[in-house]
Amino acid sequence: MKKILITGATGQIGTELTMKLRQLYGSDNVIATNIRKHEDNPIVNGDPFELLDVRDYSRFFELATKYNIDTIIHLAAFLSATAEKKPLLAWDLNMGGLLNGLEVARELNCQFFTPSSIGAFGPSTEKNNTPQDTIQRPNTMYGINKVAGELLCDYYYNKYGVDTRGLRFPGLISSVALPGGGTTDYAVHIYYEALMNRSYTSYLKSDTFMDMMYMPDAINSIIKLMEANPDQLKHRNAYNVSAMSFSPEMIANAIKKHIPDFEIHYEIDEKRQSIADSWPNSIDSTCATEEWGFHSVYDLDQMTQDMIIKVKKKLNL
Ligand code: SER
């Protein structure tokens, strides 16, 4: 990774990843792109930023050529709940954008990263300690996009030798940029509401378990995978990675250790509940650890402590 182009750079992952990559590789070597310029986002001013709708192949190719890009980190996509509301648009953006990114990578011989997700599993998948290689029959548009995406990346690697790499991310929790349109978003919003209002109403049932990871671990895992020796990567486009598995009740209890009068209430959103119910309770990340040394640092309590400090500061509380 010497000259990197990031799509969806003002999103939840992109914002922190862009900041970290600029520290590591130099600001001029990390070109942030997004369909809109969010003026309040810390990455859009000063350092290279370009508007890019990833469905526009010519613009994608033009920017990659202009900056002499050797690495594409493709993050622009709809998350699960939005994709379920707008399935055709999700197909267009999630698949069309990915295909364009892969074509640019093939044309210009770039290394390529795109995230998959726990959403690539479905109701017929083993729910606990979900193996690396298992049944993948998701019943959401997002999940269908993710499985097709994993396969498409495999295809570009096998057929054209593009150095594609990817991770099946769990829900990501972060304090810098908010997530949007995901099923796991509650695990971010709960901290803001706990600090502002001492109360949070969960749209998922109290005992809904899903995998999660704190953003610093997610960012480090992307960089570690991208820098790993390619000879070690047998499952290169779809590594299970997780740091913790918890339910709304468990995260509420972790928050109560810091904010004792915090209360959680439940008002279930059937649509997001059914998405969550179709996903694993916990996935097995052993393969990522064995093939390229994946590890995470933060557990639920360490993450909660850090989130409370950072979100409190952000909200000036
Ligand atoms: N965080 C994503 C979502 O909830 C899952 O990959 O859609």
Give SS3 for 77. coil
Taking only the tens of pLDDT, the chain with its 317 residues reads 899 999 999 999 999 999 999 999 999 999 999 999 999 999 998 899 999 999 999 999 999 999 999 999 999 999 999 999 999 999 999 999 999 999 999 999 999 999 999 999 999 999 999 999 999 999 999 999 999 999 999 999 999 999 999 999 999 999 999 999 999 999 999 999 999 999 999 999 999 999 999 999 999 999 999 999 999 999 999 999 999 999 999 999 999 999 999 999 999 999 999 999 999 999 999 999 999 999 999 999 999 999 999 999 999 99
The Cα–Cα gap between 175 and 114 comes to 22
- Give the β-pairing of 210-214 and 164-165: unpaired
Ligand 1 atom showing the smallest separation from residue 184 Cα: 4
Catalytic residue among 142, 191, 203, 239: 142
Probe target for ligand 1 pocket from 145, 185, 188, 242, with the most ligand atoms within 8 Å of CB: 185
In degrees rounded to 5, what are phi and psi of residue 145? -60, -40
User: How remote is the C-alpha of 129 from its chain's centroid?
Assistant: 20
Closest CA to 219 of 167, 260, 270: 167
| CA 67 to ligand 1 centroid distance, Å | 31
Question: What angle, rounded to 10 degrees, do the helices at 215-227 and 12-25 form?
Answer: 50
- Give the β-pairing of 239-240 and 167-169: parallel
Beta carbon of 280 within 6 Å of any ligand 1 atom: no
142 is catalytic: yes
Mind listing the domains of the chain with CATH numbers?
Answer: 4-170+214-240 (3.40.50.720), 171-212+243-281+297-314 (3.90.25)
Query: Mean pLDDT of all residues in the chain?
Result: 98
Beta carbon of 169 within 6 Å of any ligand 1 atom: yes
* pLDDT on residue 46: 84
| CA 66 to ligand 1 centroid distance, Å | 33
The DSSP code for 224 is H
